Amino acid sequence: MYPTLLSSATIGKYALSNKVVMSPTMTKRRTPGGIPNDAMVEYYSQRAGAGLIIAEGSGPSENGMGHAHMPGIYSKEQIAGWKRVTNAVHAKDGRIFLQLMHTGRISHPANMPAKTEVLAPSAIMAKGEIWTDTHGWQPHPTPRAMTTKEVEQMVKQYVKAATQAIAAGFDGVELHAANGYLMDQFLHPSVNKRTDKYGGSISNRVRFILEVVAAVSDAIGRDKTGIRLSPYSQVNDLQYHSEIDATYEYLADALDIYSLSYIHLVDGLGGEPEIPAMLLAGIRARFRGMLILNGNFDAVRAEHTVQSGLADLVAFDNPCTTAPGVMKEEGKMESCFN
């Protein structure tokens, strides 16, 4: 019924059984202490029928753990927990990448390990609230602006996290540079007011992302490194600005040089503004790697999208729009992810 969507594909050096991607947001943050547990082993192994699983955003360092119950990938216990997950997925011939997500200013001390602090490109508080187990909903705190040296050290923390993800058995990593988290915060002039080499011009605001891309892809391999972007997202208090298109065209050109495994592009998800057709086509033309589109897809639209060549793979973010039968395994699962 969906011959193109359900046909095989290749990402990096890996063969995928179909062109369906399980989005990293298709999870429930069920890791008290940040350590993957039995529930996650079962959850991900049940979904190994997707062509590619992108596991949920995980903190590359202790000060990146801004959400309650989010997992990490910086401790021995976390690595061991994730190893059980990847073993279970691989036992069913699945492929799984880990999304590395530092929350930046979208955080709260109540959600973070002791002796850490909320860091961001600049000391600008995000509007809105964040859930904490101990105090319920709380306003985002004002973060401390990172020093230039701390930004440079953060690049090394991403590299360490990526190498530990590979040690935990992941097939690769996805760098989360979207949805208003740390990497994305550097891109936005309303959030990034820096006057050093990481602020001001487009090339400076993109610099941190490209340094992480270069260092991580060098450490684990370009074929094992992907990135998530959301050009027109306004979540987590992102503001529209006049240089959005120019920023992402510049970024797509730069990412193509590194020959990354893929760009995972968020387009109009959950009522967010859609990416203008000209920008979407521009990114597609500039980046010669695999393009994953994520944006309120159902099976029919996904089939048309991959047939037309607009995207190579489609990520499903809503459990009940998944192609009927795609995620079924021996009749044990419903046609949605949950």
Hey, which residues are catalytic here?
181
In 3D space, the residue among 202, 228, 229, 226 whose CA is nearest the CA of residue 216 turns out to be 226
From residue 89, alpha-carbon distances to 46, 55, 93, 228 in Å are 8, 11, 7, 22
Beta strand residue intervals within 83-143, DSSP E: 96-100, 119-120, 129-132, 136-139
How far is residue 25's CA from residue 338's CA, in Å, rounded to a whole number?
A: 12
Which residue type does 240 have? Y
How far is residue 315's CA from residue 8's CA, in Å, rounded to a whole number?
A: 15
In this structure, are residues 78 and 116 in contact, taking their beta carbons and an 8 Å threshold? no
Which residue type does 56 have? E
Residue 70 is given by DSSP the state: -
In this structure, are residues 173 and 162 in contact, taking their beta carbons and an 8 Å threshold? yes
151's CB contacts (< 8 A; 6+ apart) are: 121, 198, 208
Strand, coil or helix: what is 103? coil
- Four-point Cα dihedral 274, 158, 61, 35, nearest 10: 80
How far is residue 306's CA from residue 217's CA, in Å, rounded to a whole number?
A: 27
C-alpha 115: how far from chain center: 26
Q: How many CB atoms lie within 10 A of CB 259?
A: 14
Strands 225-229 and 262-266: parallel
